[in-house]
């Protein structure tokens, strides 16, 4: 290992690093083309490292707003934060899975998930993903009053989604730390949308609209901005973002 007390890499470590990079490169390039056509989101157990599957999917990012501003210095504050996010993310992950989604990662103050084709053939991927987001906000209406009664500020969050073809790949170190990642413009846009989305909003990329019911589009989809910095590649026309303003109504029990 490198010497932590030195400002420079040791020659031995540097040579080993070069050898390791070359060996990994040779292993990757020696394999057949690693991206195959896919249908569903592959699990980490069903895909080889350095391989990928190209699938049509909706990519969702959920982000808790101003999470870093919550007090979290003392042991008591950290314990409270842990309990809050445990409650919140346990339910949000359940909701994603209930809607046929797959959670890729938990970032501490957010989630990333995929929705691909499944047995619900009569419901589009985009329709199912937006229904999931609506259910998440309905769940927040149950969770936040519990937090407020305990003297904890409610959680505000935003959800951003885009739809298209992505490559879901397995990357990392073999037999140690590795995992599934999404590669493609759709995932990039969905992530960047977080900088545009306001608290407690659902923001959609333009490709999301083609899979939504007509009455949803007519009543609850509003243009957020055309000035996104993204363009359709062939026409160079702007790629707009849309805000979904509808919300589920809780049933009367």
Q: What is the pLDDT of residues 80-98, one digit of tens each?
A: 777 888 888 889 899 999 9
Residue with tokens 């055309």: 226
- For residue 27 the two structure tokens come to 């292993």
Question: Is it the case that residue 159 has pLDDT exceeding 90?
Answer: yes
Enter the DSSP assignment of 250.
P
pLDDT in tens, 147-157: 888 888 889 99
> Contacts from 177-180 at CB under 8 Å and sequence distance 24+?
178/44, 178/49, 179/44, 179/104, 179/105, 180/41, 180/42, 180/43, 180/44, 180/47, 180/104
Confidence of residue 126 (pLDDT cuts 50, 70, 90): very high
Residues 210, 20: Cα–Cα separation, whole Å? 46
Give tens-digit pLDDT for 203-249. Answer: 999 999 999 999 999 999 999 998 888 887 777 889 999 999 999 88
Other beta carbons within 10 angstroms of residue 63's beta carbon come to: 21
What is the largest distance, in Å, between two alpha-carbon atoms of the chain?
Answer: 70
Short-list 156, 161, 105, CA closest to 130: 161
Tell me, which fold does domain 34-244 have in CATH?
Answer: Alpha-Beta Plaits (3.30.70)
Q: Tell me: the pLDDT tens digits for 13-22?
A: 667 777 876 7
Other Cβ atoms within 10 Å of 242 Cβ, number: 20
Return the pLDDT at 231. Answer: 83
Alpha-carbon distance of 242 to 208, in angstroms, equals: 9
DSSP 165-183: EEEEEEEE-TTSSEEEEEE
pLDDT digits (tens, 9 = 90+) for 168-184: 877 666 666 656 677 88
Task: Write down the pLDDT at residue 18.
Answer: 75
Nearest to 163 by CA among 75, 239, 100: 239
Torsion of CA 47, 179, 82, 98, to 10 degrees: -30
Q: Where are the domains of the chain?
A: 1-30, 34-244
* Choice between 122 and 194, residue whose per-residue pLDDT is larger: 194
- 9-23, 41-55, 137-151 — which one is most confidently predicted on average? 137-151
């Amino acid at each position: 290992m490198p010497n932590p007390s030195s400002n420079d890499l040791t020659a031995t470590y540097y040579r080993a690093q070069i050898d390791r990079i070359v060996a990994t490169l040779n292993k990757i390039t020696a394999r057949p083309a690693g991206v195959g056509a896919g249908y569903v989101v592959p699990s980490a157990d069903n895909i080889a490292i350095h391989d990928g599957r190209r699938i049509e999917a909706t990519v969702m990012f959920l982000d808790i707003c101003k999470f870093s501003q919550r007090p979290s210095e003392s042991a008591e504050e950290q314990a409270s934060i842990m309990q809050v996010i445990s409650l919140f993310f346990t339910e949000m992950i359940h909701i994603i899975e209930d809607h046929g989604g797959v959670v890729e990662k938990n970032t501490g103050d957010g989630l990333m998930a995929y929705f691909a084709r499944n047995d619900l053939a009569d419901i589009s991927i985009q329709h199912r993903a937006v229904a999931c987001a609506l259910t998440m906000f309905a769940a927040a209406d149950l969770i936040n009053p519990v937090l407020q009664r305990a003297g904890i500020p409610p959680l505000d969050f935003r959800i951003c989604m885009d739809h298209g073809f992505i490559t879901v790949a397995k990357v990392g170190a073999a037999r140690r730390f590795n995992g599934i990642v999404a590669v493609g413009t759709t995932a990039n846009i969905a992530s960047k949308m977080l900088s545009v989305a306001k608290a407690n909003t659902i923001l959609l990329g333009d490709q999301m609209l083609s899979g939504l019911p007509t009455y949803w589009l007519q009543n609850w989809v509003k243009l957020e901005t055309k000035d996104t910095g993204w363009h359709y590649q062939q026409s160079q026309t702007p790629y707009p973002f849309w805000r979904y303003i509808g919300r589920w109504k809780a049933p009367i029990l």
